[in-house]
Amino acid sequence: MFLGRPFLVLSLTSLAWAGCHAGEPTRDRPRAPDQEEQVEAPPKRWLPFERLGELRLVGSVDSAHPAGDYFGAIRVNREAEAYGNKRRDPLPPGARVVEALSAEVAGAAQLYYVMEKQPAGYFPEGGDWAYLVIGKEGEIQVEGKLTLCARCHAEAPREHLFESFRSLPPP
């Protein structure tokens, strides 16, 4: 049974519309001038990563972080020099505490957990810390007001910081 010209026009229009809107452009189909090729951006680098060796090594821990069975080497910047001292003032904005996680005590780090103190009001429920997870090549995996980190660090004895670690002798 022939349904007539209106049905034929509707069918062809539907097919044409579907063809124009089906998926990503291919080499066979020209790209519209306003369509740009999607290129995956490289991971964002954590800029202080290249200077980690300049941070003071203050101790090591059997890490309590849920990333696995790791040892952690704790490093601090100048603003966090008082970290680990029992009688100290609160750490100022700019203080940075880094835990480098490795499978062996003196092994290469596989992951870094970083806390960077921000000005008051940044993230009160997180102790005004920005939390970062940094990959072994310095790529930022996640950063900011991380509630999972803040929830655990809220249990710390002071300033959202756990300061129980084995002190290392000076190098």
Q: Please give the pLDDT value at position 151.
A: 95
Model confidence at 70: pLDDT above 90: no
Q: Please give the pLDDT value at position 12.
A: 37
Best mean pLDDT range from 12-21, 25-34, 96-105? 96-105
Span 54-62, mean pLDDT? 89
Percent of the chain with pLDDT over 90: 49
Name all contacts of 123-130 with Cβ < 8 Å and 24+ positions apart: 123/150, 125/150, 125/154, 126/150, 126/153, 126/154, 126/160, 127/153, 127/154, 127/159, 127/160, 127/161, 128/93, 129/153, 129/160
Q: Label residue 104 by pLDDT band (50, 70, 90).
A: confident
Q: What pTM did the predictor assign?
A: 0.71
Q: Please give the pLDDT value at position 42.
A: 74
Span 132-161, mean pLDDT? 94
Q: Please give the pLDDT value at position 25.
A: 43
Q: Please give the pLDDT value at position 118.
A: 98
Q: Please give the pLDDT value at position 17.
A: 37
Span 73-95, mean pLDDT? 92
Ordered structural domains, the chain, with CATH: 47-167 (3.50.70.20)
